[in-house]
């Protein structure tokens, strides 16, 4: 499959940090379905990594798990150096690592805020220079997954909301500096996700589904479709943007 007049997806190499579960796994699935060679970055859970690789095995693009905590100083530069040796370059980097500690804004817990900020900011803080080198010559795509809590008040979400707001600011600054290199930096944002399971049957979730103009909650696959668009060659003129994929929920007062 070729993305317009650009590079065939089969020639692209992607690293999805946080790629073994949730939105990160959905993005990895969308890229592998297009034929992209995908590496699933994960920190600790070998079982989840093996299950993710097995689940994506039938797709056209080869999928490999790559262990390493990208919030640790040396991890992402080391991974990127290895990918350059193996493939010559990296075309796509997706940051879907997340941390969430429930708390009140009036009673914040510093350790939780520190953890959420680290998960949000460390990958690009620690990896920006290496990503620029790995994507040298372009086109390169850097994409982060964020949420409406960066811009709207969500109950008990203050710590993650601060982290996501900082991450979106980081996207804008990096986008401005990396655009001359042919590298885009963008974000996909959403509201509450429908991940299936028991929570989908609660009255609060059903009410939120009814309130969504498109008639249902957003799924990880919806996020993945928007992410794949921003990772494509056709998105080369989109820089520093936060694209909201939420079925129109955030449009309502």
CA distances from 216 to 46, 148, 152, 189, 225 (A): 33, 17, 20, 16, 16
Does the structure show a pLDDT above 90 at 195? no
131 within domain boundaries: yes
93 within domain boundaries: yes
pLDDT at 198: 53
Domain count within the chain:
1
Q: What is the pLDDT of residues 25-78, one digit of tens each?
A: 999 999 999 999 999 999 999 999 999 999 999 999 999 999 999 999 999 999
Matching residue, tokens 């008990």: 156
249 within domain boundaries: no
CB atoms within 10 A of CB 86: 12
pLDDT at 1: 62
227 within domain boundaries: yes
pLDDT at 5: 47
Q: What domain range is 89 assigned to? A: 9-244
Mean pLDDT of the chain: 94
28 within domain boundaries: yes
Does the structure show a pLDDT above 90 at 191? no
251 within domain boundaries: no
233 within domain boundaries: yes
Terminus-to-terminus CA distance in the chain, angstroms? 41
Does the structure show a pLDDT above 90 at 248? yes
Considering 69-73, 200-204, 214-218, 246-250, the range whose residues carry the highest mean pLDDT is: 69-73
- How many Å apart are CA 249 and CA 210, to the nearest integer? 10
Q: What is the pLDDT of residues 106-156, one digit of tens each?
A: 999 999 999 999 999 999 999 999 999 999 998 999 999 999 999 999 999
30 within domain boundaries: yes
pTM score, two decimals?
A: 0.94
pLDDT at 193: 84
CA-nearest of 150, 151, 82, 155 to 121 is 150
pLDDT at 110: 97
Q: What CATH number is given to the structural domain containing 97?
A: 3.40.50.720
pLDDT at 197: 60
Residue 145: φ, ψ to 5°: -105, 125
Does the structure show a pLDDT above 70 at 199? no
């Amino acid at each position: 499959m070729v993305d317009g007049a650009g590079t065939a997806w089969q020639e692209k190499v992607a690293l999805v940090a946080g790629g073994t579960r949730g939105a990160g796994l959905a993005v990895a699935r969308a890229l592998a379905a297009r034929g992209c060679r995908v590496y699933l970055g994960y920190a600790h859970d070998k079982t989840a990594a093996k299950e993710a690789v097995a689940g994506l095995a039938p797709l056209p693009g080869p999928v490999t798990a790559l262990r390493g905590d990208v919030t640790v100083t040396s991890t992402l530069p080391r991974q990127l150096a290895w990918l350059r040796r193996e493939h010559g370059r990296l075309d796509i980097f997706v940051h879907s690592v997340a941390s969430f500690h429930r708390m009140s804004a009036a009673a914040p817990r510093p350790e939780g805020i520190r953890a959420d900020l680290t998960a949000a900011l460390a990958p690009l803080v620690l990896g920006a220079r290496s990503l620029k080198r790995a994507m040298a010559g372009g086109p390169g795509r850097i994409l982060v997954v964020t949420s409406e809590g960066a811009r709207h008040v969500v109950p008990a979400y203050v710590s993650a909301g601060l982290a996501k707001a900082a991450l979106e600011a980081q996207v804008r600054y990096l986008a401005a500096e990396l655009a001359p290199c042919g590298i885009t930096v963008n974000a996909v944002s959403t509201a509450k996700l429908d991940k299936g399971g028991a929570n989908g049957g609660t009255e609060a979730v059903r009410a939120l589904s009814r309130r969504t103009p498109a008639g249902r909650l957003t799924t990880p696959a919806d996020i993945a479709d928007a992410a794949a668009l921003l990772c494509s060659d056709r998105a080369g003129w989109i820089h520093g943007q936060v694209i909201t994929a939420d079925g129109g929920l955030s449009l309502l007062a």
